[in-house]
Amino acid sequence: MSEKTNEQKPSLWGIIWSPSVQFERIKEHPKIWGPLGIVTFLFIIGMWLQSFGLELELEGLSKEEKVIVSAISTVSLILAGIISPIFGAFISTLIYLLVAKIANSKVSFRQLFSINTYLMIMSALSLIINGVGFALFGGSGEILYTSLGSMISAEGAMAGILSSIELFNIWGVILAAIGLHKVADFSKGLAWTVSIVLYLIGVIIAMVGAAASGVVGI
């Protein structure tokens, strides 16, 4: 690692085009609050845009009641945009830290939290890009334009699987593996295993959720 790399701070946007360099910088300078503030702001924008794809059951309601329900739904999504990146980064960090302890890695909680904070830029971009799609072209809000679900029609559990095979999700899996290898000193095999297993858990959750929604007719 060069002296110049050691001195420079990691770039949130640099994760997109130079992840290895940024993760090396994160290892030396694990920044959290600045990147987390930017990511949270992007999540709020993304969630607001996602509200355009939100389908609400408004039949039988008066005009005033429809306005109130729509406003509450939008505010709820914005609040979710504030909480989601913090909660998501925290839970992922706890999981990574547990694996690090088992693997005898000396990586710190701050370093791992910094990794996850920077990785959240992928989810933020997905929210914004798909939100813009919903605002311009409409959609159900459940099927992302950047997932296979937008190209292949399916129902139930299969719909959940296809919605999880999403551009920014896959990109995030790759970046997480690189980050764990570079910052936590996990072997490449362990880094990829942890990243892929967490992704598969997410796929299973999405699949179960979609299947349950189909059963109850949501």
98-130 confidence digits (pLDDT tens): 999 999 999 999 999 999 999 999 999 999 999
Inside any domain, residue 6? no
Instruction: Give the best-scoring range by mean pLDDT among 25-29, 53-57, 143-147, 148-152.
Output: 25-29
Inside any domain, residue 4? no
Strand partners, 218: none
Q: Kindly give, in sequence order, each residue whose CB lies less than 8 Å from that of residue 93, ignoring residues fewer than 6 positions away.
A: 109, 112, 113, 115, 116
Give the helix/strand (H/E) hosting 25. Answer: helix 19-28
Q: Kindly give, in sequence order, each residue whose CB lies less than 8 Å from that of residue 94, ignoring residues fewer than 6 positions away.
A: none
Inside any domain, residue 193? yes
The pTM for the full model equals 0.89
Inside any domain, residue 10? no
Inside any domain, residue 186? yes
Inside any domain, residue 84? yes
Inside any domain, residue 2? no
Number of structural domains found in the chain: 1
- Residue 118 belongs to what domain range? 15-216
pLDDT, tens only, 45-103 = 998 888 776 666 666 677 787 778 888 888 888 899 999 999 999 999 999 999 999 99
Alpha-carbon Rg of the chain, whole angstroms? Answer: 19
- Please report, rounded to a whole number, the percentage of residues in the chain having pLDDT higher than 90: 61
Q: Could you give the C-alpha distances from 210 to 56, 106, 144, 205, in angstroms and in order? A: 18, 39, 14, 9
Inside any domain, residue 89? yes
Q: Kindly give, in sequence order, each residue whose CB lies less than 8 Å from that of residue 24, ignoring residues fewer than 6 positions away.
A: 1, 5, 182
